[in-house]
Amino acid sequence: MTAQSIVPPVDETSPMLGIYRQFRGLIVSGQLGAGERLPTVRQTASDLGVAPGTAAKAYKMLERDGLVVTRTAAGTRVAAEAAVLPGAVVRRIRELIAEAEAADANPEDVIDVLRLAWQSARTPTA
């Protein structure tokens, strides 16, 4: 076993782990799409009332797991290979949800129509 593969034990109630799990959940569920930018470490720390170092450690864990990529001047973004859906698709879904809510549409109806439209688009026409 190499020193690099040894992971120190993490307190299950640590704020760092909570931040990591929250962003991980958003990424793997598709709520954050490929290329979407995460808030800065400083902003995350401020929003959650934790030290910037705590947020930075959580971001490092996300990066280590291949979920995000951090680049100078570009910030931290969801890695292309980590996201379930491309960022553009996630944004359009959010727009659809906002429009449906504004129209007071039933969510199940919207999902059913989307599913039927998807099936129709994939069915070859004769």
* Helical residues (DSSP H) of the chain, grouped into ranges: 15-28, 41-48, 52-64, 87-102, 107-122
On average, the pLDDT of the chain sits at: 85
Evaluate whether residue 5 is within a structural domain.
no
Q: Is residue 1 a part of any domain in this protein? A: no
Alpha carbons 126 and 80: distance in angstroms, whole number: 36
Flag whether pLDDT at 20 surpasses 90. yes
**Interval 18-43 mean pLDDT:** 91
Q: What digits encode the pLDDT tens for the residues 44-98?
A: 999 999 999 999 999 999 999 999 999 988 899 999 888 777 778 878 888 999 9
> How much is the pLDDT for 90?
79
CATH for 38: 1.10.10.10
Query: Taking the CA atoms of the chain, what radius of gyration do you get in angstroms?
Result: 19
Q: How many domains does the chain have?
A: 2
| Together in a domain, 67 and 116 | no
Q: Is the pTM here over 0.75, yes or no?
A: no
Distance of CA 118 to the CA centre of its chain: 24
In a domain, 32, yes or no: yes
Residue found under tokens 């930075």: 56
Q: Is the pLDDT of residue 12 over 70?
A: no
Residue 58: which domain range? 11-78
Structure tokens at 111: 């999902």
Residue 113 lies in a domain: yes
